[in-house]
Copies of this chain bind each other. A is one copy, B any other.
């Protein structure tokens, strides 16, 4: 089972020490190969999960996605799709039609991710009210 302090150290790019006695070495913090952050940073983007949700259902073309998410800018749609493609979550196929058309579809890796990601999305939806209630309580106490 993951999720212990050992993983914490892995997250900050450190190797685990010998015991609990030794203080951690502050130098040489790399951060570039923290697996969790490396993945979460991507799907933590403003539009990533939205696109994954859409493409999990079926392939879509650029313009279709654009219409489905009217408040995304063209720039961010392109960039988000590129990033998802770069990480191997989605594929891009160009059809050499008269006006060129491009279709995006989810890969197996993407589906694998979406399987666990959707659990989190469902949780968020299901517990949103409780979170909002907690916020109201907190803000009230803070006067």
Contact = CB atoms under 8 A, between A and B. Distances in A.
Interface of A: 2-5, 7-8, 11-12, 23-24, 26, 29, 31, 35-40, 44, 46, 49-50, 53-54, 56-57, 67-71, 85-88, 109, 112-114, 116-125, 127-128, 130-135, 137-139
Contacts of A11: 50, 53
Please indicate which of the listed interface residues A50, A68, A120, A130 has the most CB atoms of chain B within 10 Å of its own CB. Answer: A120
Chain multiplicity (copies): 2
A81 to B, nearest CB: 12
Contact of A128 (B39, B57, B123): B39
B113 A127 contact: yes
Contacts of A125: 2, 7, 35-36
